[in-house]
Amino acid sequence: MPHDGGVRAVDAWRDRVGTSLFLRVAGPDGVRSRQRIHGTPGPRWFAPDAAILRVHGDASMFVGGLRALLLQSLHPLAMAGVAGHSGYRGDPWGRLARTSTFLAETTFASAGDAQAAVDRVRAVHARVRGRAPDGRPYRADDPELLTWVHVAEVDSFLRAHQRFGARPLDARGQDQYVAQAASVGHRLGAVDLPETVAELAAAIDAFRPALAAGEQARDTARFLLTEPPVPWSLRPGYALLAGAAAATLPPWAAAELGLRPHGPVRHRLHEAGGVLVTRTIRWLLGPDDASRVSPHADTPDGPVGPVEEPVDAPTADPAATPH
């Protein structure tokens, strides 16, 4: 029937575009990595109903990842490590694939594979040394830098999930997520990590005196927000992701990066764009093969049912990053 043919054509288009998106984020070995992560038997670090599975398995991670990079760049030593060692300009998609695979391995893979991923990153960190533009030395395994990168990521992933995720967590689930993410951060060498939302906010406030946007950070913001390494056909969708990421930054962070203040109307437009693009990504990756979302989750909302009943969402490297 003509109608059935149209549905099949749409499904084929969605599968083709969704696969292309998955491979761009997960890298050319993404399919094999996904099979290994989910197909290897054995115990996992997290229970099937863990909050971290829901957060890291949602399309909101696309917004959260961009926000995390912007926020992390405000630490001058962390930014120097990213600029000097990560290849974020020369090979941004390779860096993204390595980071997304690390998150997938430590969230969804067998305990053995998760620990192996951590061991690989720690070995890289041990070799990364340098000096920031102001002359200060840095090392990627510095516990302070690891802690900053961790709290910036966790805050970004959680805030993006609460605003754009398919099933936001309630207060208890949010605290569970922060604590579960801390267990991975401690394995990487970070210390005294927050384990509740309140502690996470306090940790970010404690870093404020050490944060400042130098030219490297502002260059990173321009690159991520206005010079994205994506084909022109993907620019409109990327612009929605970037606008949503910038709109969810704290006002002090946006001001440091030289971003234009968001008035109420513009803020709502960016948030609406974030909702639209994350829903589109979720649809493209498809309910029947949503293991491509994070890009390694098992369902669009995470591998299993909710940790708690959801509530309304709030309105509101150095090479220390994984790879």
Q: Is the peptide bond before 264 cis (omega within 30 degrees of 0)?
A: no
The predicted structure's pLDDT at residue 224? 83
Structure-token match 């391995």, residue found: 105
CA gap 66, 270 in Å, rounded: 14
Residue type, 118: V
Per-residue pLDDT of the chain (323 residues; tens, 9 = 90+): 456 766 666 666 566 655 565 545 655 566 777 778 888 889 999 999 999 999 999 999 989 998 998 999 999 998 888 776 665 565 565 666 778 889 999 999 999 999 999 999 999 888 888 888 888 998 889 999 999 999 999 999 999 999 999 999 999 999 999 999 999 999 999 999 999 999 999 999 999 999 999 888 898 888 888 887 777 777 888 889 899 999 999 999 999 999 987 778 888 899 999 999 899 888 887 653 334 444 444 433 333 222 222 222 222 233 333 33
Mean pLDDT of all residues belonging to the chain: 80
Q: What is the pTM of this model?
A: 0.82
**Helix H segments across 128-263?**
143-164, 171-188, 197-207, 215-226, 235-247, 251-256
CA gap 271, 316 in Å, rounded: 10
- The three-point CA angle 128-130-100 to 5° equals 40
CA distances from 77 to 24, 84, 137, 285 (A): 29, 10, 8, 37
Contact 320, 77 (CB under 8 A): no
CA gap 96, 207 in Å, rounded: 25
The predicted structure's pLDDT at residue 307? 28
The predicted structure's pLDDT at residue 276? 92
Instruction: Spell out the residues 6+ positions from residue 38 whose beta carbon is closer than 8 angstroms to its own.
Output: 108, 109, 291, 296, 298
